[in-house]
Structure 1
Amino acid sequence: MLKKVILCCLLASPVLASEDIPDQYPASLLYSKPVEVIPHVFSAIGATAPSTYENAGHNNNLSFILTGDGVVVINGGGSYLLAQALHEEIKTFTDQPVRLVINENGQGHAMLGNSYWADQGVKIVAHIDAAHEFEDRGAQSLAGAENRLQERAKGSRVVVPDETFEEVYRVPFGDMEIQALHLGPSHSPGDIVVWMPEQSLVIAGDIAFHERMLPIFEETITIDWLETWEEEFEKLNATYVIPGHGHPTNMDQVRRYTRDYLVYLREKVGEHLDAGGDLAGAYYVDQSPYTHLDTFEELATKNAGRVFEQMEFE
C-alpha cells in the first residue's frame, strides 16, 4: 500500500491541486491529514490557495521526520492552533518527542506557529535571513493572520528562532542524516531546503513549486533564483520532492513549473522590452501555458510586472 501511495504522490500533476477542494480533514484545523511520503517522512499537504479562515491558514506543507531519537518538524505552521493540531497528529504516529522545528523561510505560514512549539520547549532553527525577515515583518504577518483567521489565530504571537545558521545546519540527533541547506537566493529571504541524502528526498520549501503558480515578490530576484536552481538545487538530483505547496512529486515536475516558468516569463518580458513595451503592457504578456495552475489569477500579472521592473535594469 505504501508503494502505491508514493507512486501516486510522485505522479501528482496539477489536476490534483486543491484550490477549490473543500477542507479534506474536518476533524482537525489541518487542511489534510498527514501522509507518509516515504518511510518515516510525513507531510500534511496544505491548500494550494491563499490563506483563508476556511483553510485555517494551512496553505503550505507541514512536514515531519521520525528520526528514531525524536521528531523534526519542518515549518512552525501558520498559527498557534495549527501547530497544535499538527502536534496532535504526530502523537498518533509516534511516541518520540518533537525535539526540533526548522522554519523553511521567514513568512508567517512558516513561523507564526513557533509560538506553540516554544511553549512546548522545542528548539526552533532557521536561516539567519529568515529570522531577520520575521523580526522585521512578524508583527505585520501576525496582524494579517488575526484578521483572516479570527479566533483560529488565538494564541499566536511572534517568536523568533532560538538558533540561526548561514549555510548548513545538521540535525544532531537520530538515525538519519538530515541537513538544512541554504542553497542561495530564491523565492524569499532565508529560503532553505531540508535534504536527506540517504533517502534522496528533499523537502524543498518555496524554492520549488508545481501545482500552484509561484509568487514573485518585490525582493524575489528571478535571475538569482535561476542561478541557485541550476548551480545548487539540480545537483541534489533528488528522487522525492516535497515542495512548499502542493503534493509530493519529483524533480521533473517542479523543474517544469518553477525553473521553466521563470525562464519562460523572462523570455516573454524580454521580448516585450525589446519591442519597446512599457510596464502597463508587461502585465499582459502571454502566460497561457500556465493558466491551469492554482493562484494564476492572483499572481500572473503581478509576476510579469515585477519581472519587467527587474529586467528593465539588468
Structure 2
Amino acid sequence: MMRLTCCLAALTAALPALSLASEDIADQYPGSPLYSKPVEVIPYVWSAIGATAPPTYENTGHNNNLSFIVTGDGVVVVNGGAAYILAKALHDEIRQVTDQPVKLVIDENGQGHAMLGNSYWAEQGVPILAHEDAAHEFEEYGAQILAGMERYNRDKSEGTYLQGPTQTFSDSYTVDFGDFPIEVRYLGPAHSPGDISVWLPEQSLVIAGDMAFHERMLPIFEDTITADWLETWDSAFEPLGATYVIPGHGHPTNMDQVRRYTKGYLEYLRGQIRAHIDAGGDLAEAYYVDQSPYANLDTFEELATKNAGRVYEQMEWE
C-alpha cells in the first residue's frame, strides 16, 4: 500500500508538467523504435507514451499509448502497436520488467496503431482480444490501413501483416488470471467503432483508449457521432469515477483534464456549430467557427477545421 500511495502521489505532482506535450518534442528513446521508454504509472501498470503528433517515419508510428499490466500471473498488453517492430520493442521492455509471460493483448479499437502490431503477438502465440465492431472495422479496412503505414514507415514496416483479433466480445470481458480484477468494457459509441476501455477497479485506474483525450486535439471521423460520444461519456465513462486515467494519446492524467478536453471540447464545438446553423451559416463558413480556446492542443492545425465541418454535417440534420 505504501508503494501505491507514493507512486500515485508522484504522478499527481507531475500532472502540471505532463500537460506540456508538444508535437515538436524529439524522440525520447533514441535506442528503441518506441517513442518513449515505458514508465510505471502506478504499481504494476506501465505505459509507453507515444508522440502527440501524426504518425511519421521518425516516430515509427508510435503516436498512441502502449500499456501493459503485470498481474502476478502473466502480463496483459493494451494495444498491439502500429507495426511489428513496435510490438517487438514493447515486448523487449516487458522482459526487462518481469519474467511473467504475456498472456493477452487487448486492442482498444480497429485502428492501425492498435492492431497492426498484432502480427508480432500472433507469432508469439498470444491471444488477441478486441470488441466485435473493432474486429469488423479492421477486417474491412485493414488492407488500406496497412498500406498507409507502409508508406510512412518504409523499411520499418517489415514483418507487419494483417492479423485481426483471435477473440471478440460485445459488452464486457473479465481477465480471469492475476492478482486483481481487470475489466475490459465497451461503454458505448465514442470516437471510433469498437472503442473499449480497460478498468482496474481496485486501483481506480482506467486505460481509457480513445474515449478520452487531453494533450492533443481529438479527431472527429466521418463515423464519429459526437452526440453519442457525449451520451456514452455521461452514462458510462464518468460513472467509473476513475482517479487516474491513461488516455489513448498523451500522458497519464486525471478525470478533470480529460473531461475538459474531451467532453468540454465536444460540447463547445457543438455549441459553436449550433449557433452557426441557427444564424443561417453554411458548411463553407462552418470550417472557421472559433475554436481558439483549444488552440493550445497538439494537432489543432491538422484537425480543427475538419472537426468543425464534420460536426456541421451531423448537426445539420439533428
So what's the TM-score if we normalise by structure 1?
Answer: 0.98
Is the 8 Å Cα contact of residues 187 and 220 (structure 1) preserved in structure 2?
Answer: yes
CA distance in 1 between counterparts of 2:13 and 2:149 reads 33
1:140-289 map, 5 Å: 140-289=144-293
- The structure 2 residue matched to 1:107, chosen from 98, 104, 111, is 111
CA distance in 2 between counterparts of 1:187 and 1:41 reads 24
Amino acid at match of 2:292: S
Is the 8 Å Cα contact of residues 5 and 37 (structure 1) preserved in structure 2?
Answer: no
Identity, in percent, stands at 71
Is the 8 Å Cα contact of residues 197 and 209 (structure 2) preserved in structure 1?
Answer: yes
CA distance in 1 between counterparts of 2:61 and 2:18 reads 23
Instruction: Find the counterpart in structure 2 of residue 38 from structure 1.
Output: 42
CA distance in 2 between counterparts of 1:284 and 1:125 reads 40
Structure 1's unaligned 5+ residue stretches are none
Instruction: Find the counterpart in structure 2 of residue 125 from structure 1.
Output: 129
- The structure 1 residue matched to 2:30, chosen from 9, 26, 29, is 26
Is the 8 Å Cα contact of residues 9 and 247 (structure 1) preserved in structure 2?
Answer: no
Q: After the TM superposition, list the runs of 4 or more consecutive aligned residues in structure 1 that deviate by more than 2 angstroms.
A: 1-5, 7-14
Two-structure CA RMSD over aligned residues (Å): 1.0
Instruction: Find the counterpart in structure 1 of residue 85 from structure 2.
Output: 81
Deviations 1:2-59 (A, max 9, x none): 45642244445532x1311000000100000000000000000000010000000000
Instruction: Find the counterpart in structure 1 of residue 12 from structure 2.
Output: 7
Amino acid at match of 1:177: P
Amino acid at match of 2:79: N
SS of match in other structure, 1:212:
coil
How many residue pairs match? The answer is 313
Amino acid at match of 2:221: F
Deviations 1:127-177 (A, max 9, x none): 000000000011111000000000111100110101000000111111110
CA distance in 2 between counterparts of 1:14 and 1:207 reads 18
Deviations 1:182-224 (A, max 9, x none): 0000000000000000000000000000000000000000000
Amino acid at match of 2:88: Q
Change over 3 Å in CA distance of 1:116–1:3 after alignment to 2: same
Amino acid at match of 2:81: G
SS of match in other structure, 1:242:
strand
CA distance in 2 between counterparts of 1:145 and 1:193 reads 24
CA distance in 2 between counterparts of 1:8 and 1:153 reads 38
Amino acid at match of 1:37: V
SS of match in other structure, 1:117:
helix
CA distance in 1 between counterparts of 2:97 and 2:18 reads 28
- The structure 1 residue matched to 2:138, chosen from 134, 137, 141, is 134
1:310 and 2:314 matched? yes
